Amino acid sequence: MTAAGMHADQPAPSHTHREADAAEAGWVARLFSPRGEVVSASVAGLLLLIGWVFTGLDAPGAAVFYWASLALGMVHGGRAAIESARERHFDIDMLMAVAALMAAVIGQPAEGALLLFLFVLAGGLEGLAMARTRRAIEALHQLIPTATLRQDPSGEWVPTEPESLVPGDRIKLLPGELVPTDAQVEVGDTAINQASLTGESMPRIVHPGDEIYAGTINVGNPIEAKVTRPASESSLRRIMNLVLEAQQQREPVQRLIDRYSEPYAIGVMAVSIAVFLIWWLILGEPIFVTEGENAGRGALYTAITLLVVMSPCAVIIATPTATLCGIARGARAGVLFKGGQSIERLARVRAIAMDKTGTLTIGRPRVQQVHPIGWSDASELLAVAAGLEEDSTHPIAAAIREAAELRGVTPMKATRATFTPGRGVSGVFDGAPARLGTIEHAEELIPVCLRARTRELLWRVQERGQIATVIAWDGQAGVIIMHDEPRPGASTLVADLARVGVAPVVMLTGDNRATAEATAARLGITRWKAELLPQDKVAAIEELRRELAADAPGGIRKSRAAGVGVIGDGVNDAPALAAADVSIAIGSIGSDAALESADIVLLGDDLSTIPWAIGLARRTRRIITLNLIFALSAITIMALATLIGSRTGHDLPLWVGVLGHEGGTLLVVANSLTLLGAAGPARSRRRSEPDTIVRQDSPTREPAIAAR
């Protein structure tokens, strides 16, 4: 019978057999998981403790527990060593397995068992620590809910999986439900809790036309929305991918360690063998002592101890554990670091340049006052303006419509409306023409006796750096005054950055000087440049970098001890962001450009997060430095103690070397985990709605910019 025939005649595996195979595979996976390693190490430690108790009581059978503990530790330690050998890598796993076996060979199973117990325990705890740093990502995965889709043409609402949604689908969100994918509100007003993505505790108020994002929660009213992106391309999915990629990146220090870890491990083995041969053949020590007080000691014992204490466990994990903990802590607060390099660059920032519109300010003008001229009626003028802007997507149009809605003013219906680029909008209401826009556009419809006063008011508004647009209709005239509201935390940003040692802080904007000066004065910014083109911003950043280099001893530019950070909205600040040592995009949860181009992305709109992120980056760097100093110092001190002690009759006990080596590894992990408990940013108080005023008196507020 052929082989094919033999296989054909064999019965297919039964359902019971498949279940047994799956159960066996699951059991193996659990055994070699981080939690399984910790459990196995705990059992091995218990066996080791029982052996010590038996030894202390002079009871027989202590060696049995030592050997059992050693065997259980070798299940994990030996497996890792075998995998390294298969991949032709000589690493720390092989060093530890060899050291444990050699300890057993010279009659020291207790020391070998202790080594593997601590080694496996440290590895399991490290794995659990790494898993903990990924909880933010696991939490994001769990945010993907079932969607409620409207079916055409029946109009029925049916549950469906988010993966099946396509742009244009209409979905319904009830209070308490999660947003399944990025969408645009079409019916209803509500509050959206974005804390899972941005870390912001206050819900965001949304109206028809506003974007909502996957993974956020509807905490207000029922709404209907139109899908704008499939679930695979949603903001939530992009953020998840971003953090996963960041966790896989290596800092320069870690890349150096990775590069030399295998040569170092080979070097440790070579040095240990050399010490053994020198101590035995040249210095005349026995291979190991079989009897007496020093039983088990000798040249081989010294070499094994040296191999253990020089192994680079703590050095290898000093950087990645701290980096991953820093990335995870930032993600929980809505700060996305794109890997260890981003943390390193932010930690050395000493000066910051930032854009104005969309960065220091929200970038969305809001009506501050409707100022009628002469006998005109403010509410009637606002109704005409809202009617003219009914179909416009311009930010000023949105501000006027929003002001009318909040004031309870119903927009008037225009019989026809036309838009003149660079000037404004024209229309007809109740047979009378109306114009909204620049003074040149509207002046023809303004009564002659009111024109001078209108121009005077515009001049005062522009002098204050505010936004103004003129409305004229049916013998009436008025000026709609707007301002671009600062982001939360903008007013204290300069002082907060100064407290973390970042100065100067420079505002770079393309707006006119009056606007820039007014905004800077309101926000306490003393250095600013206005009317800049993109290339001018790049030149200003280079100038700031030269200024830092000139002020620093030895030249900061050469030592790279400091850098210039640039904060922008991630869309129109690309040249400046590219010129920076580290680029930060603010308020960019829905911005593809920011997620792709910036080194660091702040998903919320609170600028107080920036000083906190700098502090987190510096703390991460300090912990990495402390980890490396401690690990390298421990290796050096214990290696010298091993060599000197062996020649002076005070051999360093192998168990002391084991405790020092593995205890140092555990301390490094514990030190890194403190980052996860770091306090979050003290967020600024947010305003959920704009302060819209319609009144008759003169304008009294400061800030913002230009006429439309």
Q: Give the span between the Cα atoms of 400 and 422, in whole angstroms.
A: 18
Strand order across the beta sheet in which 505-508 lies? 335-337, 600-602, 582-586, 563-568, 349-354, 505-508, 527-529
**Cβ(334)–Cβ(200) under 8 Å?**
yes
Type of residue found at 457 = L
Q: Write out the two tokens for 596.
A: 């792709």
* 8 Å CB contact between 418 and 389: no
DSSP state of 703: -
Task: Find the radius of gyration of the CA atoms of the chain.
Answer: 35
Distance (Å, whole) CA 73 – CA 31: 12
96 vs 101: CA distance, rounded Å: 9
- 3-state SS, 303-361, equals HHHHHHHCCCHHHHHHHHHHHHHHHHHHHHCCEEECCHHHHHHHHCEEEEEECHHHHHE
Tokens 């209803």, residue? 188
Alpha-carbon torsion (337, 340, 341, 345), positive or negative: positive
How does strand 157-160 pair with strand 147-150?
Answer: antiparallel
Give the C-alpha separation, 538 to 579, whole Å: 6
Helix axes 609-648, 654-673, angle to 10 degrees: 180
Name the 3-class secondary structure at 469: strand
Question: What span, in angstroms and rounded, lies between the C-alpha atoms of 341 and 599?
Answer: 9
CA distances from 277 to 189, 280, 514, 678 (A): 81, 5, 81, 50
Residue found by looking up tokens 């295998």 in the block: 262
Question: How far, CA to CA in Å, does 283 sit from each of 67, 642, 647?
Answer: 32, 16, 9
Is there a contact between 326 and 489 (Cβ–Cβ < 8 Å)?
Answer: no
DSSP letter string over 497-532? HHHTT---EEEE-SS-HHHHHHHHHHHT--EEE-S-
Angle between the N-to-C axes of helices 62-86 and 92-105, in degrees from 0 to 180, rounded to the nearest 10: 150
223 beta partners: 173
Q: How far, rounded to the nearest angstrom, does the alpha carbon of residue 521 sit from its chain's CA centroid? A: 32
Question: Do 92 and 79 form a contact (C-beta atoms < 8 A)?
Answer: no
Q: Are 483 and 396 in contact (CB under 8 A)?
A: no
Do residues 301 and 280 touch, judged by C-beta distance below 8 A? Answer: no
Active site residue 355: yes
For residues 69 and 117, the answer to whether their CB atoms sit within 8 Å is yes
Annotated active-site residue in 355, 496, 511, 606: 355
Query: Which residues are tagged catalytic?
Result: 355
